[in-house]
Each structure stands twice: as C-alpha cells, then as structure tokens.
Amino acid sequence: MNSYLEMKLLKHITLILIVLSTSFASAQVSFEAKVSKKKLGINERLRVDFEMNQDGDNFNPPDFENFTVIGGPNQAVSTSWINGKRSYKKTYSYFLSPKKRGSFRINQATIEIDGEIYKTTPINVVVTAAVNNPNDENNPETIAEDNIHLIAEVSNTNPYLNEAITVVYKLYVSPDTGVSNWREIDNPRYNDFWSQNIDIKGLKVQNGTFKGEDYRFVVLRKTVLYPQKTGKLEIEPLSLDVTIEVPTNRRDIFGGRLMTQVHKTISAGSRSINVKELPIAGKPNDFTGAVGDFQFNVITSKTELNASESLQARVEVKGNGNLKLFELPKLTLPSSLEVYEPEHAENVSTNLNGMQGSISDAYTIVPQYKGKYPIPSISFSYFDLKTKSYKRISSGEIVINVLEGPTNTTSSDNNIASVNNGKQPVVVNSQQFAFIKTDANLTSVKPNYFFKSTGFWTGLLLPLLAIPLAIIIRKKKQERDADIVGNKIRKADKLAKRYLGEAKKALGKKEAFYVALEKALHNYLKAKLNIETSDLSKDKIEKLLVSRQVSHAEVSEFKGNLKNCELARYTPITNVEMQQDYDKAAKTISAIDKQFK
C-alpha cells in the first residue's frame, strides 16, 4: 500500500514539474527582427520578418523611411507539440524596395504581449549600386521580366577629351503590358564628367522595336556629358521603381483578360566609354582646352574718343563646343591706358548637340593722354572635331585714337604716336564715368512725425475696437457650451479623427492604410469596451456593441469596415476607394460614440 501511495505521489510531483517547466518556458517571450540580406543592390528586394513566440496585440512596425513597402504585412502562424511542449511562432513579413544608395537602419518594431511592450533590435543594411543578376525569386514582379526594359543609348563610346556625348534613357514596354506609375530611385552620378540634363516637356509614347520585336517606348531623360579625364570611364546606371500592369489568366464577364499590378525595380545598367587624349602633334602653346567649332573676335565700342572718356573692348568666342570649360585669351594693352578687371558673360544653351552660344570678357578702358594706342592682335586656339586638328584664329590689331587730352611726356609707351604739345591739357572731371549706372542711397529731407500719423490713430482706436469683439467671442462661447447635443457630436467626430490619424497619413499606400485602419477600429473598441479585441470574433463584437445600445445598422457598418480591411489587401484598390473606406470608418466611429451607453 505504501509503495502504491509513493508511486501516486511521484506521478503528481512529475506532473507538477512538467507544468512548472512549461509555464517557465512560456514566460520567456521572444520578439526579434530578421532580414533576408544585409547588403543588396538598389534593384533588389529586401524581406524583413518580425517573429514572436507568443501572440500579442497592437503590433507596430518601423517607418521604413528609406524604403518603399511593396508587399506585406503577410502574417504566418505555426503551432507544434514536441515531447509534450507547445511551440508557437507568429511572423509579420514585409517586402521592401530601397529608395536610394547608402547605409540604412531598420528601426525597432513594437508589440504588446501580456500587458508589456516588447521591442526588436535595430538592423543595419547597406544598399549598393544596381547589380547585374539580382536574386528576385521571392518577388511577384519577375513575371514582367521580359516585358519592360530601361535602355541607356550613348551617342559616342570613344570620344575625345572635352567632346560632347549624349546619353538618352528610353523605357521600352511590350504591347501587352502597361505602366501606371514610375519614379527615379537612383540618379547616376556622372563622376569625371561635366553634365547637363535637357528638359523634356511631356512624355510622348512612340512605337519602335527592341531586339527585333514590336515595343512602345518613351524618352525619360536626355543628358549631355563632357568627359574631363582620359581613359576608361563609367557612366553609372539610372534605376527606376515601376508599377507594371501585367495580364493574368483570369478574364472578366466579357472575356477580356484581367490585369494585376506588380512592382519592379529596373536599371539601365552601367556603360563604359573610352576617352581619347587630344593629339600632341601640332598643339599650340596657348591652347587652353577648347574643343569644338568656334569663331573669335575682339570688338571695341569705339575707336575714337577724348582722354578720360571710356570705351569697352570685348573678347568673344562663339560657336558650338565646350564653351564653359576653357579660358579666354587676355588683352595686352599699353600702360597709358587704364584698364579695369573684365566682366565675364555667358550666353550658352545646351541641347543634344552640346553647348551652343557665346562667352565673352568685357574690358573697360580709359585713356589718360592724347595719341594713338594700338591694341595688339591676340589669338585663340581650339581643337576642331571635324578635321581632328588644331586651329588658330587671330583678332588683328585695333588702333584707338585719342583726339583730345593732355600730352604724355614719358617714354614708357614707345608705340604712341607723337602729338602737338601746344594745346592745353584737358582737366579730368568727375563725369568721366557718367555712362556707368550706380545705385543711389537717398533719404528724405522732410521729417516724419508720429503725432496724427496712421500708426498714432491705429494705436489709439485699436483697444476701443477690441472691447465689443471680446464681448461677441464670449457670447458665442457661452452658446456653444450650452449646446449639449452639438458638443456631443463634435466630441464624437474629434474622437474618430484621433483614432484614424495614422490611417489618414497612409492614404494612397494600400497595405499600410488598411493595416492602420484595422488597428484604429480595434483600438477604438479596446478603449470603449476596456477589453482586448485580438481574440474576439465579429459575432462577439456585435453582441457587446448591441448590449451598449448601439443600433444594428451601425454594428453592421462596423463589421463591414473590418471585413473591408481584410479583403482589400489582396484585391486591387484605387485611391478613391481608400478615401471612401476612410470616410465610412470615421462616420461609423462617430455614430457609435453618440449611441454608446
């Protein structure tokens, strides 16, 4: 008998130990974040899983500010019993597309389990330039792989240094596929190039061929580049995030094929060019890097004037080439001519042929003495792309004739012609630069008095006008406080807006919007009924609301809103439909709050 009791007691103790060990194991809450990779190209996708070993409430993901959420949250729950122990795992999964390159952090997610808040550990990921063979086996947009292509067309892959080349980016789409939206996520950095984007006014759809098949295409960007280094240079890829309309195997009631939307990141790929050095043979000593087809002139505003008057001499280059990337030759003038620093001017436009227009340096010159002053000829050298040779243009000598003025008695300017010494010197006055526009800083000589001014009368009458205004405001406030029904309605509307604030911010982003909308509806019930709603069915929610004297119509509307949140994540939804669901939810919360007892 004693042995029987001992065995019975031993079984009870064993059972108690098993229960205690199970309780201890269940008390160890685990909540962590995992990523599919910590380094990815900008044209790849990142999967982020938030795993927990106990069910919780109010799951709150991070903002993913440097990524676009293209899928999720997808929920997965698994439960198993191993050796009498229960194993539970719940996972929220997101699929992300990076917006740009760099090192980014996946911030903390939070969840409430048994009344306590748990947080994940932040994870750092690195986004690099587009990779050639992205691993996209988990992404739905792979079905559009052969239907859309981004191509970079380079006009010349073997240019000279400072020779213009163009890069035209074209988006090719097959006839059976459509593009509803696109945005640039990685702009090329044209290192070792001078670059200029050409504005495109409106996207024009054109018909063409790609690899021998009929395609439609649009020109997205045109860029002019001037290489600034020789050798092999890389043109970085342009990357786009595209929303593609792809045909499915489903058909509508009229037999037409239904379309589905998928997101895809496409890249034009990097392009290599080989930049040639300019020839050494025949290169002029005064060559400053001008490449193209140019004209050169030195122009003076006048050739005859009196001493102490001024003229302008303009050194100008015009034509087609790298106009902004070289220096103009300098004027050399006699010391008897007073010369001011030149003013540089550019009148240059850029198109697919490169830079066109003119650049100039304008010198202001003031002669001090009577005589004839030659402006020596200067030359300009450039490399002509048509003949692939250097060319030199000379301006020719210009003589400035100073008719009246004092005589120069020094011998510093031997090239000045002799003048008559019998004439009186011209007295320099303060008007020698009268043609130059100056800014005046004038003040009124008539004093202004504050007494009887506009400010005086305003300050005097404003306090008197404020008294009746304060009386009116106070009266309106008393009327508003007395309006009990109106205050209840306003309070209900304000409550609805507070709970739906996060959903309103996510309007236009389907997955995030409906997650926030569903959370708002549950949080409202949680606050009003003081219960956890994650374990309640729609029927139990209906019974609780009806017991609080909420009408059946409003309860049905509330249940319909919850059902829409579940279904909308898996069906195509427009922005208009999202706005309608938001308005319905706000109206339902407001109506329930008015009836709630």
Domain 31-128 shares a fold with domain 140-275: yes
In order, the DSSP letters of 508-519 are: T-HHHHHHHHHH
- Specify whether the CB–CB gap between 53 and 74 falls below 8 A: no
pLDDT at 373 over 80: yes
CATH number attached to the domain at 294-404? 2.60.40.740
CA distances 504 to 58, 292, 454, 508, Å, are 18, 57, 47, 9
For the ranges 167-181, 520-534, 575-589, the lowest mean pLDDT is seen at 520-534
What is the value of pTM for the model shown?
0.49
Confidence of residue 202 (pLDDT cuts 50, 70, 90): confident
In the chain, what are the domain boundaries? 31-128, 140-275, 294-404, 484-595
pLDDT at 120 over 80: yes
Average of per-residue pLDDT across 67-75: 79
pLDDT at 463 over 60: yes
pLDDT at 290 over 80: yes
pLDDT at 357 over 90: yes
pLDDT at 27 over 70: no
| Residues sharing a CB contact under 8 Å with residue 40, sequence separation 6 or more, in sequence order | 46, 98, 125, 126, 127, 128, 131
Residue 445's pLDDT is 64
Q: What percent of the chain has pLDDT over 90?
A: 23
pLDDT at 274 over 90: yes
Average of per-residue pLDDT across 318-331: 93
For 483-574, where are the alpha helices, taking DSSP H only? 484-499, 501-505, 510-529, 538-547, 552-568
**Phi/psi zone of residue 491: left (φ > 0), alpha (ψ -120 to 50 degrees), beta?**
alpha
CATH number attached to the domain at 31-128? 2.60.40
Question: For the purposes of burial, counting CB atoms within 10 Å of the CB of 80, is it exposed (0-12), middle (13-18) or buried (19 or more)?
Answer: exposed
For the ranges 223-227, 318-322, 484-488, the lowest mean pLDDT is seen at 484-488
Q: Which residue has the higher pLDDT, 470 or 539?
A: 470
Reported as a single tens digit per residue, the pLDDT across 127-151 is 988 876 554 443 445 556 677 889 9
Confidence of residue 417 (pLDDT cuts 50, 70, 90): very low
Q: Which of 218-222, 493-497, 540-544 has the highest mean pLDDT?
A: 218-222
3 state DSSP class of 12 = helix
Residue 233's pLDDT is 92
Residue 410's pLDDT is 66
**Residues 41, 90, 585, CA angle at the centre, nearest 5°?**
90
Distance CA 174, CA 215 (A): 5
- Residue-averaged pLDDT of the chain: 79
Residue whose structure tokens are 């903002």: 63
Confidence of residue 63 (pLDDT cuts 50, 70, 90): confident
pLDDT at 101 over 70: yes
Per-residue three-class SS string for 269-284? CCEEEEEECCCCCCCC
Residue 18's pLDDT is 54
Distance CA 184, CA 97 (A): 12
Q: What percent of the chain has pLDDT over 70?
A: 77
Confidence of residue 159 (pLDDT cuts 50, 70, 90): very high
Confidence of residue 295 (pLDDT cuts 50, 70, 90): very high
Average of per-residue pLDDT across 547-566: 79
CA 476 to chain centre: 47
Residue 410 neighbours by CB distance under 10 Å: 9
CATH number attached to the domain at 484-595? 1.20.120
Reported as a single tens digit per residue, the pLDDT across 418-442 is 334 434 444 445 444 444 555 666 6
Average of per-residue pLDDT across 235-251: 78
pLDDT at 328 over 60: yes
Q: Which residue has the higher pLDDT, 228 or 415?
A: 228
pLDDT at 13 over 70: no
For the ranges 60-74, 133-147, 176-190, 515-529, the lowest mean pLDDT is seen at 133-147
For the ranges 153-162, 292-301, 408-417, the lowest mean pLDDT is seen at 408-417
Confidence of residue 494 (pLDDT cuts 50, 70, 90): low
Residue 555's pLDDT is 80
pLDDT at 2 over 60: no
In order, the DSSP letters of 245-305 are: EEEEEEE-TTSPEEEEEEEEEEE---EEEEEBPPPSTT--TT--S-BEEEEEEEEES-SEE
Q: Which residue has the higher pLDDT, 306 or 20?
A: 306
pLDDT at 524 over 80: no
Q: Which residue has the higher pLDDT, 119 or 505?
A: 119
Q: Which residue has the higher pLDDT, 302 or 536?
A: 302
Q: Which residue has the higher pLDDT, 369 or 86?
A: 369
Residue 579's pLDDT is 82
CATH number (2.60.40, 3.40.50, 3.30.70, 2.20.25) of 140-275 reads 2.60.40
Q: Which of 217-226, 420-429, 478-487, 497-506 has the highest mean pLDDT?
A: 217-226
Reported as a single tens digit per residue, the pLDDT across 393-403 is 998 889 999 98
